[in-house]
Structure 1
């Protein structure tokens, strides 16, 4: 990302605000040609002729400072995001204009209006694991250029050859344009903005202690934005893995406002067992939900005081035995357009209902409402190959479309492809044939990644103050520093 601050020369010299064309002589030049168009009897001037006329026209000067701000905003807001931030360096006025919160609001409203009338898809289903040696190489896999295509795809961030390497990063969660990643062994967390390529390294938590060695997993990630779409803070939550059922939820919470990890041990109304293969928790209204056996989910609000947790049951008429036996492989529970949805797929071809879905009707009471139940005979597709497998194919849910309540994405195991299911039309279509094949491709291994519409500066956590201990004879203490990297 280029420097957002204009140089002194660019900002102070008035000639930078002017566009000047001057008359020059050119030997052996040809006069402009009128090129007739075969489809139109009216004469047209070629592009080279227009440039020739401009080149040889009388000198004129236009001061772009006379351009109204309203017109300037209309022009700049239609440029690519990278160009917009480059144009901050044109002059101080442009820097101020683009940096104002009102410009980001205007940019957002225009993008939302354009997307409402466009069928382009601005997100990808992203494979969680990245096999590279350094975190800056992870950022290279998020280059905005790779998302320019409007076609849907599953984005595999690593090639098959790279997956043979020992270094391994994992994409844990996304929130308001920020991405939470970690390096596996040793466990190091990173928060980054893939557009600006800014990133910070979080300090180590309790796992750095030599006395206790807890195992943490199920990292959750939530962030807050203000009315001007400016991100103000973020919170990372991770739970301690316990091999037995317990009446407590043990977790650690990191806040960008304090720069510290804080331990919590919250009582639960019933003994719970966290699903080890549950993946990252789902976020709904800023509340994190981890999947547990028997009950459904345990919820924790990191911004609510006093800290507490609650149990939320899944729909009672779901396939309980299948959900328990396959550890949630055939169900998908996530937020979509402000709604908490539970989508279930039959694990065998002889089940009467193939797809079922429930929507949370009352979150405080934990009440679900059945939306539909569809049999295989109701399904249709225009793809010949998929049609031949329609009555016996195995489908695994992946994710909901983040902008369209009608679309659910699933993996067809037999064809090794991703299909989109239209709830309204009961129609299946091949959405993407993945780059590479992963036999374990499920919602646990993918995360829907929405292309950020506007850069999200990463809030920099404060560095905790170093505790000065009194000197003790014949002993030396080393200070431990926490570094924040960009």
Structure 2
């Protein structure tokens, strides 16, 4: 036995040993917030390819749950952000019209246009990607209560979400009806359940 022989830790033909940059790339990058990840894309070509891959974006959404900031909106003023780690363009000017933030979940926002048909938008304030939702057959009124539910799937790389809208019924007095949008179906559907009683329904934004 060669007791005095020291193994070559940098040997590239031995898969047991990895370079430090590869260890960080595989085990640390997915746990960083999105703003830091974008900066590290400039480290080298390998990291840039790793970060730009759809699989990496999926893993990062599952691994990193840190808060990027808190959106606030007073009455009909423009949305603003109290940054914690920073999100570009916090006033959502990339959307086609002024909006009110109605709900948030896992980094996505559900916003509603202020004028005209009061269109709903789902957007990612970090990537500036957004989607206009189809118009519902129900009249949601001027102040509906909205809940956005987003849960990254382990088996599906396309994030699916649902929007639950509670609105005053126009067919029954002192009643609340529910309209549900599913990204999988791409349409709204009014729930059969109706909540009777004179009550006020409101929703709180989460902090993701």
TM bracket, shorter-chain basis: 0.5 to 0.7
CA distance in 2, matches of 1:171, 1:215: 16
Which residue in 1 is equivalent to 2:120?
189
Measure the CA separation in 2 of the matches of 1:255 and 1:122.
Answer: 26
Closer, same or farther in 2 for the Cα pair 1:251/1:70, shift >3 Å?
Answer: same
**Per-residue Cα deviation, 1:85-127 (whole angstroms, up to 9, x for no partner):** 3628953x43553337578657976x67xx8xxxxx8643623
Relative to the length of structure 1, the TM-score reads 0.30
Is residue 202 of structure 2 the alignment partner of residue 279 of structure 1? yes
- Say which of 103, 106, 109 aligns to 1:179: 109
Q: TM-score, normalised on structure 2? A: 0.61
Aligned to 1:215: 141
Q: Paired residue for 2:129, among 179, 185, 198? A: 198
Shift of 1:215: 2.7
Q: Deviations over 1:169-225 (max 9, x none)?
A: 211111111111111232111111111111111111115xxxxx6636112211222
Q: Is the 8 A contact 1:235 1:256 kept in 2?
A: yes
Q: Check 1:89–1:260 CA distance in 2 against 1; reply closer, same or farther (3 A cut).
A: farther
Match of 1:253 in 2: 180
Asked if 1:147 corresponds to 2:84, the answer is: yes
- Which has more strand, going by share of residues? 1
For 1:257 and 1:194, locate their aligned partners in 2 and report how far apart those are by CA, in whole Å. Answer: 22
Q: Which of the pair has more CA radius of gyration?
A: 1
Q: Distance in 2 between matches of 1:192 and 1:107?
A: 15
In structure 2, relative to structure 1, the CA distance for the partners of 1:83 and 1:239 (3 Å cut) is: closer
Show the counterpart of 2:16. Answer: none
Number of residue pairs the alignment of both structures matches = 177
1:251 CA displacement: 2.4
| Residues 128/449 of structure 1: CA separation in 2 closer, same or farther (3 Å cut) | farther
Structure 1: where are the runs of 5+ without partners? 1-65, 116-120, 133-137, 150-155, 158-166, 208-212, 283-446, 451-486
Deviation at 1:72, TM superposition (A): 4.0
Once the two structures are superposed, what CA deviation does each residue of 1:267-287 show, in whole Å capped at 9, x if it has no partner?
A: 55xx32341xx432x6xxxxx
Offset of residue 255 of structure 1: 1.0
SS of equivalent residue, structure 1 residue 206: coil
Secondary structure, counterpart of 1:97 in structure 2: helix
Specify whether residues 188 and 82 from structure 1 end up closer, same or farther in structure 2 by C-alpha distance, changes over 3 A only.
same
Q: CA RMSD in A?
A: 4.3
